[in-house]
Amino acid sequence: MKRTVRQYLLHFFFILLPVMTYGTERAWSSDLHTWTVEEIGVLRSLSIDSLPPLPKDPTNKYADNKKAAILGNIFFTDSRFSGNLKVSCATCHPANRNFADNLPLAHGMGTTNRRTMPLIGVAYNTWFFWDGRKDSAWSQALGPFESPVEHGFTRTRCAQIIIDHYKDDYEALFGPLPVFSKRDLPALAKPAIDEPVSLKAWITMPPDVKDAVNRIYANMGKAIAAFMRTIIPAPSRFDHYVRAIVEKDQKSAIKILSSDEVKGLRLFIGKAQCLNCHTGPLFTNGDFHNISIPQPADLPADQGRADGIAKVLADEFNCLSVYSDAPRSDCGELRFIDTDTDKYAGAFKTPTLRNVAERAPYMHAGQFSTLHEVLEFYKNLPPGQRSPELGHFDLNDREMHQLESFLRTLSGPLIFASD
Ligand code: HEC
Ligand code: HEC
């Protein structure tokens, strides 16, 4: 039977045209923002709405004490705790810049061998520093004071400043300060193996004075940790997008992220395999990985976590120490620490990707100056050096741009105690 022109036209308008346009329309809008149940599960796991309440810190009984947090914030910004009266924690971790300094290597009294870490969601960490050589935020805080290239200070001088300037605030929280004679607190004393004069001054102090100084020092750290604990991220554009998707509000979702950003998100959770390490609402598994970042030629070799393991086990302020408030049973992470140094040679802690676009340069020694360089690194790593967890990375230029666009959606305000 011959078809009439009318039949052809009807066929075209009611069957062919809808079929032809259906695909393009989907690709344009709704399809891009349509996620499977499993994908929505992944998006939710990354969203800030999945951030659990702050984990308890049994090693620090002042962790959730508001007055301790206020005092800790003051210590954090007080540059009298430094050899040249110019360096405070905030020098390298300024609150108005995501608590980081945008330098490849941090600069205090001198220059460090590593890059300043962001403090976003710091209380969710199990291990601290790029190599995890500390197991609590308060014991971490005691490191920079005595580092010659950071505060260039000593714990005896910290104790003296507490006595001279913070007596009332300190005693209101931690109880009476011991009474020291001037001779009891030699300014230079600290247990620094590579600083013989300071070491000798420390060793020759009576054990009860050393213990009393250590207690003041530990309490300072506990107040600072109570402050740092309050630094948490607020929702970013990515989080608003996930909320809209979960609520099946596609109309809003489309307005929150551009199509390139959503395509980048699809790559992040799919083909690019970033989720192997950058998981959960802080985009980190908190673990250590050697991803073959080249060490800058002018810096000493850095074994990262492989050296951090022995350091945290030997740390005089760790969970099992007399200065920790935790019972031994709460120190499982330290007692059952993975001591496989071969596995952790050259491994560094997976950093959070929240606010990542705001804090170039990147990696443990600031090896890359832009996000583009980071992605080029992941892309160009030769197969021989590519850890199996990194997967293949055959993204084209367009996809590289999309992935980078997605990373930029993770920026949002930070909330902390003084707000
Ligand atoms: C000279 C700059 C500088 C100063 C001053 C400084 N930091 Fe840092 N901070 C760094 C660097 C660099 C790292 C990484 C060091 C490493 O891994 O060896 C770091 C790491 C940290 C971390 C670890 C974060 C994590 O995710 O593991 C915390 C917490 C921290 N600093 C808090 C402080 C506190 C508290 C003070 C003051 C007592 C302070 N910092 C002083 C540069 C500095
Ligand atoms: C095998 C685990 C692993 C995988 C998979 C992985 N990363 Fe990383 N990422 C790390 C570690 C570890 C570092 C820090 C390395 C260092 O400093 O030596 C890092 C650093 C970064 C940084 C720099 C952040 C900063 O503050 O310095 C960015 C950006 C980043 N990764 C993005 C990605 C993206 C995007 C993907 C997916 C293509 C990805 N990562 C896949 C482990 C991983």
Q: Is 120 in the pocket of ligand 1 (CB under 6 A)?
A: no
Q: Can you tell me the distance from the alpha carbon of 334 to that of 128, in angstroms, rounded to the nearest whole number?
A: 12
Q: Hey, whose CA ends up nearest to atom 39 of ligand 2?
A: 274
Q: Can you tell me the distance from the alpha carbon of 245 to that of 230, in angstroms, rounded to the nearest whole number?
A: 29
Q: Can you tell me the distance from the alpha carbon of 77 to that of 225, in angstroms, rounded to the nearest whole number?
A: 13
Q: Is 73 in the pocket of ligand 1 (CB under 6 A)?
A: no
Q: Can you tell me the distance from the alpha carbon of 33 to that of 228, in angstroms, rounded to the nearest whole number?
A: 37
User: In order along the chain (419 residues), what is the average pLDDT of each group of 10 residues?
Assistant: 53 49 46 96 98 97 98 98 98 95 96 97 97 98 97 97 98 97 92 95 96 98 98 98 97 97 98 96 97 96 98 98 98 98 97 97 98 96 87 91 98 86
Quote the pLDDT of residue 388.
84
Look up residue 159 and give its two tokens. 């104790």
Quote the pLDDT of residue 182.
81
Cα of 114 vs centre of ligand 1, distance in Å, is: 10
Q: Is 277 in the pocket of ligand 2 (CB under 6 A)?
A: yes
Q: Hey, whose CA ends up nearest to atom 36 of ligand 2?
A: 274
How many CB atoms are located within 10 Å of the residue 210 CB?
18
Quote the pLDDT of residue 1.
44
Residue of 116, 278, 352, 399 to mutate, ligand 2, most atoms within 8 A of C-beta: 278
Residue of 57, 93, 157, 232 to mutate, ligand 1, most atoms within 8 A of C-beta: 93
Quote the pLDDT of residue 4.
56
Contact residues for 242 (Cβ-Cβ < 8 A; gap 6+): 43, 44, 46, 47, 49
Quote the pLDDT of residue 384.
84
Phi, psi of 37 (to 5 degrees): -55, -40
Q: Is 145 in the pocket of ligand 1 (CB under 6 A)?
A: yes
268 contacts 275 by C-beta, under 8 angstroms:
yes
Quote the pLDDT of residue 95.
95
